[in-house]
Amino acid sequence: MYGRRLTAPAALAQSDVADYTQSIDVCGSDFRDIPRTIHQTWKTAEIPECWRDFHDSWQRHHPTWEIRVWTDSDNRKLIVDHHPWFLATYDGFARDIQRVDAAKYFILYTHGGVYVDLDCECLAPIDDLVEKGGAVFGRTADRVIECAFMASSPGHPIWRLAFNELEHPSFIARTLRALPHCIGRYGFDAAHVLFHTGPQMMRRVVYNHCRKSQDGGAGVTTLPSQYLSDRSWWDRHSLQDQATGYVLHHYSNSWIEAGEGKFLHRVTRTYLIRVVAGCIGLIMVTAVAVSLLISL
């Protein structure tokens, strides 16, 4: 599967190492080199103190790699200079985080390398993860794509699928965006971001690319959750006693606006199970009531 076997992080118990490569998904056959460059982005060149140690961890584990921090003005200049056809969409996004999401994809398409969010802490060198080349993604325990860590060779065609999604959002993304502002401020607008430019969109992109590339095409490797924060997207706000992967995503959620955090914190697996169970219970009670009325 790889040129040499992936090395499990030292934090894993020996009994867990055998499971580490069992759920790696690989599609395609053309795996071009990934440049040894780490990209990050922030509003300005001054990284906030709360993330500086995380940023330094990447340099510490990768002393020979280039590390570049892109500012908001750098991101827009990339679009203007290399992808002017996308500028109207880029400028038209309702929220800054959507421009940041788009910039991640265009940076990797244009330059290649590894993109990591500033709230991601490097726990071990990632050379093994990108050695095969192509594009590399991680997924959470419930198979959502972890957009805080992504890697690819320059010009990888999976990004063209992402660009199409950015210009033509899915039905659910359009629906969430269309909700009245008085509802959106409680979190539906933030959910729209996830489905239009964020991890839920990339989940669909990776699936569609690999569905078409089983017998060839540009290679993509999707790593199991153990490699990049071993928890599900639903449990992203939970604390971890011990980090076990190459990367620990701290989920700072700096992009969330006032009034949205409470909503998103409530959207957990347990919450949704209760909602679904409540709906099923209501349907059953209604069905019984209708049956009794008919029998009278």
**Tens-place pLDDT, residues 116-165:** 999 999 999 999 999 999 999 998 777 788 889 999 999 999 999 999 99
- 147 or 40: which leads in pLDDT: 40
Range of weakest confidence among 153-157, 236-240, 290-294: 236-240
- 152 or 16: which leads in pLDDT: 152
- Greatest CA separation for the chain: 81
Confidence of residue 232 (pLDDT cuts 50, 70, 90): low
Q: Classify residue 154 by its DSSP letter.
A: T
Residue 148's H or E segment, with its range, is strand 145-152
What the block records as the tokens of 35 is 């440049």
Instruction: Reduce the DSSP state of residue 46 to 3 states and report it.
Output: coil
Does residue 275 have a pLDDT over 60?
no
Cβ-Cβ contacts under 8 Å for 174 (sequence gap 6 or more):
none
Does residue 42 have a pLDDT over 80?
yes
104 φ/ψ angles, rounded to the nearest 5 degrees: -55, -50
Does residue 20 have a pLDDT over 60?
no
Read off the amino acid at residue 18. Answer: A
Does residue 263 have a pLDDT over 70?
no
- C-alpha to C-alpha distance for 231 and 138, rounded to whole angstroms: 12
| pLDDT value of position 98 | 95
Q: Which of 292, 117, 293, 146 is nearest to 223 (CA)?
A: 146
| Percent of the chain surpassing pLDDT 70 | 73
Does residue 267 have a pLDDT over 60?
no
How much is the mean pLDDT over the chain? Answer: 82
**Tens-place pLDDT, residues 185-230:** 556 677 778 888 988 899 999 999 998 876 678 999 999 888 886 6
pTM greater than 0.85:
no
| pLDDT value of position 24 | 85
Does residue 17 have a pLDDT over 70?
no
| pLDDT value of position 4 | 35
| pLDDT value of position 104 | 98
Confidence of residue 101 (pLDDT cuts 50, 70, 90): very high
| pLDDT value of position 51 | 94
- C-alpha to C-alpha distance for 227 and 42, rounded to whole angstroms: 24
